[in-house]
Structure 1
Amino acid sequence: MEQASNIRIIKTKKHNWHFNFRRFLPWILPIGLIAVWQLSASVGLMSSTVSPVSVVQDGISLIQTGELQTNISISLYRASMSLLIGGSAGFIFGFLNGISSVFRDVFDTSIQMLRNIPHLSLIPLVIIIFGIGETAKISLVAVGVMFPIYINTFHGIRSVDSKLIEMGRSYGLSRWQLLTKIIIPGSLPTILMGLRYALGVMWTTLIVAETISSSSGIGYMATSAQDYMDITTVVLCIAMYAILGKVSDLIAKTLEGLFLQWKNEKRSVANG
């Protein structure tokens, strides 16, 4: 009995070590690329002015002057407001069109027409309507964010198993209970997938939006550095966008873990 208990403990320890190793795997490729990049700069295959060490040193100097954190905070504000506005609009329209055939007949065709217009081609129109201030930048990014969330919310609600809805009705669930206990939980995985995709669109659109006669933000820093041929700062700005995008994706994954915990538990029970 004691021997079986010891074997169980050894297996548990191996499992924990294996789990920690798997968590490290996503970072092997980025760290390896940075190491190769630094090595290439050290042996002269690349310019030493754009090595990882020089980029970090440039970032430290910009932090000391306060320029980097100021522009990052401005970009975060623009991204957050765009996600709030565009994401809310996409979710509301996707939700209403998903549950109501009347709303679907009125709005879906028009939204699908607009969705097929590249949102970056709207830059001249946005400038004419909103000028070159904050409203123009936030509006452009909000349009880019809206459609991924709309299409995934709409698809998620429409894809909920109709048998589950009929079963809920047979148990006497009200419309509100059907929404909260069957429709929304069933569509949540697809909605969160749309959120992850929208976060990627948000940052790529913001890069372009912050070049529209801007005087602040990470995109402005990159454009200004390009004018002065400051390649190190340009690379730093690209790295900052990559880091912010990774953090956003981690937040989205955390939300999936919180809201879809029931799904993971059900899968664990099914696998024994």
Structure 2
Amino acid sequence: MKLLKVLAWIFAPYIMIFIFWRKMGKIARISGAVWAFFALLIAISASNTEEVKPDLAKTDTVKQTTAKESVPEVDSKTVTVIDEEAVKKEAEKKKLEEENKAKADKAKAATAKAEAEKANIKSKANQTKVLEFEKSIYALEETMTPVMEAYKESMDGLGKGTVDIYTAYEATENARKAAKYLQNKFYGLSIPEGLPKEVEKLLSGTTSDMGTAYYSKVKAFDAVLKFLDEQKPSYMSKFKEEIDMSDSFVMSGVSKIIEAKTAVGLDIVESK
């Protein structure tokens, strides 16, 4: 009983003091009242601590809930839609780029084709000009053919005694005049315009060579006329020298025409 009474005064003094208040002395009343007051404070404090702990836990829960609510949840369907939209836009962009590239390539090909056709037309025009020039050279030479044939016949007849010296002299004089005429014609022959510079140079060289060739022919016929006048064999040697010189210049002129034809893309065999 005494142990229970002691425990009651320790843990519940504010109850025991009311029960034994009248039996207690003055000092005991004061001591008991003080202890009862402190015990009551301790009890209240313990009660408040227990009440605060659940509140703190509740507060943490509320905070965690609020934090969770503040982060918006992303719907997987929404993400998929956004990705598909981006892929679609990228595909459209790539398709547009490919279409633009195809258009650019087509335009480039068309331009290249037009330029090739233009170059081909120009090449054909150049070929025609060179061929026409070549024909004009041969046409001039052909005018000399009947005169040269008459000259050769008269000289052969003179050697055989079937033609007199006067006829041979006349034929030689006619050949000289024809050669002089062609000399001037070749030197004055115009070069077709619009040709490449290298081709113009070749054709110009042809006119110069052909003009020089007929200049040598003129000198050759001069030597024959002197031979007929003076009957000196040395004049016939001069004739042969000048004829050989003339032939070399003719070959040089023809060679330049061939080079010009090759330069403009003509097949030498087919264009003959």
Which band: TM-score by shorter chain? under 0.3
Larger Rg: 2
Taking structure 2 as the reference length, the TM-score comes to 0.25
Taking structure 1 as the reference length, the TM-score comes to 0.25
Q: Which one scores higher on RCO, CA 8 angstroms, separation ≥ 6?
A: 1
